[in-house]
């Protein structure tokens, strides 16, 4: 099989944490070919044929994990699997790339499916399942957000809809004198949407990242925030703690799993705090390497197995 990974610049990927690196290594272990490119190397040729300027990428274990080889240009149909693993933010360029990927012939598998990348928006998708998530409001109206905060007793969390890695997340407390300023900055004076949610105090114990493959949970890691920090993301210093899947976690996955499969989401990372679903991450979710180290597993094998099954089903 021949894989193309659309990623951020390869030298900047962290071999000890990046999930894309785990996928590339597993493909190499199976004797499969790996190439990489960035979104800037994508284009659409005359006749509506998407193509890429790519670099052969030989990967291995260890810190010195990659070697870049020959470069080339091919239509994306020349690859068996195209992985869209560009990190957020989900901006207009990302949106347009999903439309480019829609033009890839059906004989090539795109992971995750472009339609799924558009429809399963990481902050908003959970609102299709209101019984699973904290009480939430999406608005760019500062008065409306303030009224919602008052309804919640003065405490809530706000996030930008296009944020990632904990960027722009604020925990607003009842005695916070900066609330008005924070909402002005977050909404850009009422011109940009925010999602506001009831604060879930169990976040102090950790924000659970659950890895979901073909709609089924396969592993989890607890991201515990530093004592001075609200956010638990690894990107801002959250620590990885071994954990398991609770009955409630499995209930959440069973509820959202069919929709993820319907939208062609092979691999996702969902976030659960206490009993509540808070995000569904489908663009470039992380967590596999941390779970592997804590649990002594290799979750990337199951993901590659799922990809190979989907590819065989194409009948190429």
CB atoms within 10 A of CB 246: 13
Closest CA relative to residue 158, chosen from 176, 141, 178, 138? 138
149, 223, 281, 300: which is the annotated catalytic residue? Answer: 281
26, 80, 279, 290: which is the annotated catalytic residue? Answer: 279
| 123 is a catalytic site residue | yes
Closest CA relative to residue 243, chosen from 274, 280, 265? 274
The dihedral region occupied by 171, where left means phi > 0, alpha psi between -120 and 50, and beta the remainder, is beta
Helical (H) or strand (E) element with 93: helix 92-102
Q: Are strands 267-273 and 207-213 parallel, antiparallel or unpaired?
A: antiparallel
Closest CA relative to residue 70, chosen from 94, 53, 84, 85? 53
Task: Please give the structure tokens belonging to residue 28.
Answer: 């190499």
| 209 is a catalytic site residue | yes
Asked if 237 contacts 229 with a C-beta cutoff of 8 angstroms, the reply is yes
Interatomic CA distance for residues 74 and 52, integer angstroms: 6
208, 224, 233, 290: which is the annotated catalytic residue? Answer: 224
26, 271, 290, 300: which is the annotated catalytic residue? Answer: 271
123, 149, 208, 223: which is the annotated catalytic residue? Answer: 123
Residue 114's contacts (CB-CB under 8 Å, 6 or more residues apart) are 84, 98, 99, 101, 102
Interatomic CA distance for residues 62 and 57, integer angstroms: 15
80, 231, 249, 300: which is the annotated catalytic residue? Answer: 231
25, 159, 208, 223: which is the annotated catalytic residue? Answer: 159
| 231 is a catalytic site residue | yes
51, 149, 208, 209: which is the annotated catalytic residue? Answer: 209
| 271 is a catalytic site residue | yes
Torsion of CA 262, 298, 308, 210, to 10 degrees: 10
- φ/ψ of 166, rounded to 5, equals 85, 0
Residues that are catalytic: 123, 159, 209, 224, 231, 271, 279, 281
């Amino acid at each position: 099989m021949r894989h193309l990974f659309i990623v951020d610049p390869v030298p900047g990927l962290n071999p000890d944490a990046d999930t894309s690196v785990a996928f590339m290594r597993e493909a190499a272990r199976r004797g499969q070919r790996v190439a990489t490119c960035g979104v800037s190397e994508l284009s659409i040729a005359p006749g509506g044929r998407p193509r890429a300027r790519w670099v052969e990428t030989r990967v291995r274990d260890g810190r010195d994990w990659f070697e870049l080889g020959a470069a080339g240009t091919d239509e994306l149909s020349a690859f068996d699997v195209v992985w869209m693993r560009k990190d957020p933010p989900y901006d207009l360029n990302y949106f347009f790339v999903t439309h480019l990927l829609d033009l890839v012939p059906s004989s090539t598998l795109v992971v995750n499916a472009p339609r799924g990348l558009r429809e399963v928006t990481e902050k908003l998708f959970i609102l299709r399942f209101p019984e699973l998530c904290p009480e939430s409001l999406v608005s760019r109206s500062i008065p409306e957000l303030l009224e919602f905060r008052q309804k919640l007793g003065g405490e809530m969390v706000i996030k930008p809809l296009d944020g990632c890695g904990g960027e722009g997340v604020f925990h607003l407390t009842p005695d916070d004198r900066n609330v008005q300023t924070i909402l002005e900055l977050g909404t850009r004076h009422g011109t940009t949407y925010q999602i506001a949610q009831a604060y879930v105090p169990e976040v102090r114990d950790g924000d659970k990242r659950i890895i979901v493959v073909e709609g089924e949970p396969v592993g989890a890691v607890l991201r515990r925030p530093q004592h001075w920090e609200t956010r638990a993301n690894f990107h801002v210093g959250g620590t990885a703690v071994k954990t398991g899947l609770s009955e409630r976690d499995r209930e959440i996955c069973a509820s959202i799993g069919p929709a993820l499969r319907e939208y062609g989401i092979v691999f996702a990372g969902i976030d659960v705090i206490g009993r509540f679903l808070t995000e569904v991450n489908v663009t470039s979710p992380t967590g596999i390497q941390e779970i592997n180290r804590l649990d002594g597993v290799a979750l990337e094998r199951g993901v590659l197995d799922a990809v190979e099954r989907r590819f065989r089903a194409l009948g190429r």
